[in-house]
Amino acid sequence: MKAKRVIPASSSRFAAQLFNFITVVVLLISLTALLLGKLLAGHKIGFLPFVLSLPPVMIWLGASIFVYASIAHHPNPRTTHYNKWAGYRYYGVMGSLVVFGQPLYGLLGGWQGLMLVQGVAVVVIVPWALFDIYRAAREPWQDMTIEVAINE
């Protein structure tokens, strides 16, 4: 037996914006933690900025896989489009920083190098993510009706 289920337009819009929104928040928290760590750290604990700034990015890197996968099969194709490009941006930048992060860090060393690496991630990801959040908010979303199989 099949039942009809309505997916509200606001739900589709929120799902389209979710990955970008969390990515922006995490990157800004990480950058804030880096700056706060630099203010708190003395010469004896120079690793503090690194220790404070890395966990939000690493936690989101793991959690983002579940968020991405949960939105990837949304019935609205526009929602999956926004999710796909948010994933391309985030995973592309983070993957390229695995390769290019060490040479960038080596240019300045210390917390300045970490600031350069994290700054590159923020400068590349955040403006595009904010623009996608804005575009998704401006798009004319409509309620969708889907059929769901019910087990009796």
Instruction: Express each pLDDT in 53-101 by its tens digit.
Output: 888 999 999 999 999 999 999 999 999 999 999 999 999 999 998 888 8
* pLDDT band per the 50, 70, 90 thresholds, residue 46: low
pLDDT at 10 over 80: yes
Cβ atoms of residues 121 and 27 within 8 Å: yes
Residue 4 phi, psi dihedral angles, 5° rounding: -95, 140
Distance CA 40, CA 129 (A): 30
Q: pLDDT tens, 13-37?
A: 999 999 999 999 999 999 888 888 7
Mean pLDDT of 122-146: 95
The reported pLDDT for the residue numbered 76 is 94
Give the domain ranges of the chain: 2-149
- The residues that bridge with 61 in the sheet, in sequence order, are none
Determine the 3-state secondary structure of 145 from DSSP. strand
pLDDT computed for residue 104 by the predictor = 79
